[in-house]
Amino acid sequence: MSDMPYPDALRVDAFDKVRGVQRYAADNARPGLAHAVLATATIARGTVRRIDAAAARAVPGVRLVLTHEELNGLKPPGFLMGGGYGFQSIQPITSPHIAYRGQPIALVVADNLEAAAEGARLIRADYAAEPHQVTLDAPEADIVAQADSPLPKPMFADVKAGEADAAYAAAAIRIEADFRHPPQHQNPIEMLSTVAEWRDGHLTVHEGTQNAEAIRHGLARQLGIEPERITVLSPSAGGGFGQKNSLQAHTVLAAEAARRLERPVKLVVTRAQIFHDSSFRPASRHRIRLGADTAGRMVALIHETDSQTSRHDLFPTQYTELSARLYGIAGFRGRERLVRTDVQTPGYMRAPYEHPAAFAVECCVDELAYRLGRDPVALRLANDTTADPITGQPYSSRYLAECLRRGAARFGWDRRSMEPGSMRAEDGSLMGWGVAIGAYKAATAAAIARLRLSADGAVTFSVGVHEMGQGIRTAIFAVLVRRLGVEPGRITLEIGSTGTTPQHLTAGSWGTATAIPAAEEVCDALLRALETLPSRLSLAERLRAAGRPYLEVEVSRRAPGQPEAVMGRLTSGLPAAMGPAYPGYVSFSHVAHFVEVRVEPSTRRIRVPRVVSVADCGRVISPRTAASQLRGGVIWGIGAALREVSEVDVRYGGFLNADLAEYVLPVHADIGTIDVEFVDAPDPRLNAAGVKGLGEVSMVGVAPAIANAVHHATGRRLRALPIRVEDLL
């Protein structure tokens, strides 16, 4: 079936979303609900000596105040990257220790939100402060080489191929440059929100998440109850972008408050608090050394990184897993280090490693093109590869060259003049055209899919995946409609909520490559089962003829090469994904971005009026939502390159610009034309549906394309993000 393109189809949940009836967690509003608000630490590191909640408790309407004195029995969730479920290992408000500014120190619950907020404001704490440090400029003692750390190997070993250092030393052309990426925050517009309620010893949690199963199993661990007594409901998350990929620090607090009050509790973490109460993209710096011969063949790439982590967890990095694979470079050496800082544990934010890594490498590749006097597209095409430089294995599919060629034609790249500063727009502004490529691992997670056909023709389908705007519901509908010939109105999807099939983490762009092949397989299983029944016109008629009220089939599916044991991880809420290296091949999605920037000649404002992006994500199951996702990824790249920075005042720790006015996200007026196209060639080796991932790769390479375009417009190489007016004045 993967040889047939999918038709354009409307987003299936758009009808609910445009009417405002799609329910997000905080939309749970009803009488009797109590409201909770967090109070947070004002020091960057130390201990709470004394906490005074008397004024808070005295606020009319306040029903409960929880501090570490009340919550010291609550267990930690464990760290997502260390066998646990939480975005970090520590659980705030369970001890007097303060690891970072903004760490919650109390929860105030009241009959209404206003009273709870006032109570939280009145919480007073005396602290014993300790020295802290919050930037990459840390003493050597706080720098951990990942290769020498306890992090599991080979996953977090240094990536090596060939003799990079020798090849670099011998290279005719050598480019060496340092790049800096600031901390940034995901900031989905839906704030972290939980409604928790207990009924007959059973806890129900409403929370927008990418990982309902981790919340369920993590809460079970924290509360000391069986996972069977917990249901997590997340039919639709208001954006995730990596922030909602695990058990948040506030969730258990809402659950515990609801248990003590014996009434449902709603806890919405404020926007300012979210900057400190959940993960973020860590600050990182990158040293690139790129060697090439005079013919333009890249022969060596050395990529060394320092990336921020917390003092209590090692948030591992995999920047070089991407940089090693952009081109067919025989000599590669990566070295990744972590810098301990006094922050909450950083984590995944869209294209977490790949976007910063591509920024560093692709700016250097552009520099190489200029050193060689070679067209940047031609140089990239000349260094493409069919085999993975690290493992030597073939790619399951790689249409990067196709992305570059189609993009160049669509953009009109042949009208570009190479000389920096040589192109002018009609309005007199400097015009720059830049290109960069991106890639992202095509991962796959284990899944259980269940399909029920009722005799009345209704179809219910469940698989482990969460809808957070990427359009997975629409993609699943497309498969069910095509495979079963069922009307869209007869389909019910049960995704994002526990109690059906295991709701594995949806992240790392593996959602489609996990859910879609599983959907196809369970459809085939249903069709096979129906073959034994009397032949009739429709599937439902066969059931009725056989006197069966319904037929339910289930399939378990593992990624190629995944061991059987992975199903145990799947059912216990732990990550159960793999890729990009599978037995016999390596899988990546690819993209090429072409960007036009205009630099206003006097005040040097940078605008991006036009972007062309061509992506290879295998077979496109839902063309419409895929196009939207690709455009969204481009806008993320624009934001990351030109706007977003989480500011740190080293004296205070935490993040200073913790709101949506000062943390500058792109607005409508920042965004021009974004023209997208897909290669839409199936990758049948990775799965029968031929699908790879899209959400993350769509952002990878946008930032360097912008930086390269800025260089083309101005002659300036800017290697620290974001690029702002002060960099060009």
Partner 1 sequence: MRPFTYARAGDEAAAIRAVSSGGRGTRFLAGGTTLYDLMKLGAEAPERLVDISALPGLASFDTAGPRELVFGAGARMSDVAADSRLVAEYPALSESLWKAASQQLRNMASLGGNLLQRTRCAYFRGGEPFACNKRTPGSGCAAREGIDRGHAVLGGSEACIATYPGDWAVALVAFDAVVDVAGPNGARTIPLQALHREPGTTPEVETSLARDEMILRIRVPATPLGRASTYHKIRDRESYAFALASAAVALWMEGDVVREARIALGGLATRPWRAQEAEAGLVGRPLTLEAARAAGEAALRNARPGHHNAFRIELGTRTVAEALLIAQRRA
Partner 2 sequence: MDDKPDGRNDNPASVGRRDLMIGATLATAPFAKAATAQVTATQEGMTGRTEVSLTVNGEAKRLSLDPRASLLDTLREELALTGAKKGCDHGQCGACTVHLDGRRIASCLTLAVQADGCAVTTIEGVSPEDGSLHPMQQAFIDHDALQCGYCTPGQIMAAIACVREGHVGNADEIREYMSGNLCRCGAYAGILAAIQDAASKMRAG
H helices present in 13-140, as ranges:
14-18, 54-57, 68-71, 113-121
SS3 percent helix, strand, coil of the chain, rounded to 5, is 30, 25, 45
In whole angstroms, give the CA distance from residue 282 to residue 655.
12
Give me the 250-269 binding string for partner 2, x by CB under 8 A, dash otherwise.
------------------x-
User: Is the CB of 567 or the CB of 606 nearer to partner 1?
Assistant: 606
- With binding defined as CB under 8 A, does residue 157 bind partner 2? no
C-alpha distances in Å from residue 560, one per residue of 579, 585, 693: 9, 10, 16
- With binding defined as CB under 8 A, does residue 210 bind partner 2? no
Q: In 3D, which of 220, 693, 168, 201 has the Cα closest to residue 471?
A: 693
Whose tokens are 């061509």? That residue is 614
- Residue 80 binding partner per list partner 1, partner 2, none, with a CB distance cut-off of 5 to 8 Å that depends on partner kind: none
Give me the 256-285 binding string for partner 1, x by CB under 8 A, dash otherwise.
----------------x-------------
- With binding defined as CB under 8 A, does residue 402 bind partner 1? no
Name, in order, each residue with C-beta under 8 angstroms of 125's C-beta and a sequence gap of 6 or more.
41, 42, 48, 49, 50, 51, 52, 105
Name, in order, each residue with C-beta under 8 angstroms of 238's C-beta and a sequence gap of 6 or more.
24, 188, 189, 190, 208, 468, 469
Q: Are strands 430-441 and 444-445 parallel, antiparallel or unpaired?
A: unpaired
- Residue 726 binding partner per list partner 2, partner 1, none, with a CB distance cut-off of 5 to 8 Å that depends on partner kind: partner 1
- Residue 101 binding partner per list partner 1, partner 2, none, with a CB distance cut-off of 5 to 8 Å that depends on partner kind: partner 1
Question: Which of 627, 642, 718, 728 is close enough to bind partner 2 by CB under 8 A?
Answer: 627
H helices present in 199-263, as ranges:
212-223, 251-261
In whole angstroms, give the CA distance from residue 162 to residue 36.
56
Question: Which of 323, 344, 462, 629 is close enough to bind partner 2 by CB under 8 A?
Answer: 629
Backbone angles phi, psi at 717, to 5 degrees: -95, 115
Scanning residues 43 to 102, which ones bind partner 2 (CB under 8 A)?
60
- Residue 537 binding partner per list partner 1, partner 2, none, with a CB distance cut-off of 5 to 8 Å that depends on partner kind: none
C-alpha distances in Å from residue 256, one per residue of 64, 159, 251, 635, 698: 11, 44, 9, 39, 40
- With binding defined as CB under 8 A, does residue 659 bind partner 2? yes
Helical axes 251-261 vs 212-223, angle rounded to 10°: 50
Measured in whole angstroms, the distance separating CA 395 from the mean position of its chain's CA atoms is 23
Backbone angles phi, psi at 322, to 5 degrees: -85, -45
- With binding defined as CB under 8 A, does residue 668 bind partner 2? yes
In whole angstroms, give the CA distance from residue 349 to residue 666.
16
Least Å from the CB of residue 422 to partner 2 = 27
Phi-psi sector, 573: left (phi>0), alpha (psi -120 to 50), beta: left
Question: Which of 57, 97, 121, 287 is close enough to bind partner 1 by CB under 8 A?
Answer: 121
- With binding defined as CB under 8 A, does residue 471 bind partner 2? yes
Scanning residues 34 to 53, which ones bind partner 2 (CB under 8 A)?
35
Question: Which of the stretches 83-91, 365-373, 451-459, 661-669 binds partner 2 when contact is defined by CB under 8 A?
Answer: 661-669
Question: Which of 270, 385, 391, 422 is close enough to bind partner 2 by CB under 8 A?
Answer: 270
# residues contacting partner 1 (CB under 8 A): 35
Question: Which of 8, 200, 564, 726 is close enough to bind partner 1 by CB under 8 A?
Answer: 726
- With binding defined as CB under 8 A, does residue 18 bind partner 2? yes
- Give the angle 577-582-586 at the CA atoms, nearest 5°: 110
Q: Are strands 331-341 and 298-310 parallel, antiparallel or unpaired?
A: parallel
Residue type, 431: M
Question: Which of 352, 389, 633, 654 is close enough to bind partner 2 by CB under 8 A?
Answer: 633
User: Is the CB of 283 or the CB of 290 nearer to partner 1?
Assistant: 283
- Residue 241 binding partner per list partner 1, partner 2, none, with a CB distance cut-off of 5 to 8 Å that depends on partner kind: partner 2
Provide the 8-state DSSP code for 658.
-
User: Is the CB of 126 or the CB of 228 nearer to partner 1?
Assistant: 126
Least Å from the CB of residue 14 to partner 2 = 4
In whole angstroms, give the CA distance from residue 12 to residue 478.
10
- With binding defined as CB under 8 A, does residue 137 bind partner 1? no
In whole angstroms, give the CA distance from residue 446 to residue 464.
9
Least Å from the CB of residue 50 to partner 2 = 28
In whole angstroms, give the CA distance from residue 146 to residue 315.
10
Tokens of 719: 């290697």
Give me the 663-692 binding string for partner 1, x by CB under 8 A, dash otherwise.
-x-xxxxx----------------------
Scanning residues 603 to 662, which ones bind partner 1 (CB under 8 A)?
603-605, 607, 643, 647-649, 651-652, 656-659, 661-662
User: What is the longest distance spanned by two Cα atoms in the chain?
Assistant: 79
User: Is the CB of 158 or the CB of 670 nearer to partner 1?
Assistant: 670
Least Å from the CB of residue 512 to partner 2 = 15
Tokens of 644: 């977003």
Question: Which of the stretches 188-196, 246-254, 537-545, 712-720 binds partner 2 when contact is defined by CB under 8 A?
Answer: 188-196
Sign of the dihedral defined by the CA atoms of residues 721, 606, 243, 586, in that order: negative
Question: Which of the stretches 112-120, 132-140, 429-437, 542-550 binds partner 1 when contact is defined by CB under 8 A?
Answer: 112-120
Least Å from the CB of residue 114 to partner 2 = 4
- Residue 652 binding partner per list partner 1, partner 2, none, with a CB distance cut-off of 5 to 8 Å that depends on partner kind: partner 1
Least Å from the CB of residue 282 to partner 2 = 20
Rule CB under 8 A: which residues touch partner 1? 42-43, 101, 114, 117-118, 121, 272, 602-605, 607, 643, 647-649, 651-652, 656-659, 661-662, 664, 666-670, 724-726, 729
Which chain residues interact with partner 2 by CB under 8 A?
10-11, 13-24, 26-27, 29-30, 33, 35, 60, 112-115, 118, 187-191, 236-239, 241, 268, 270-271, 468-471, 624-625, 627-629, 631-636, 659-661, 665-669, 671, 673-674
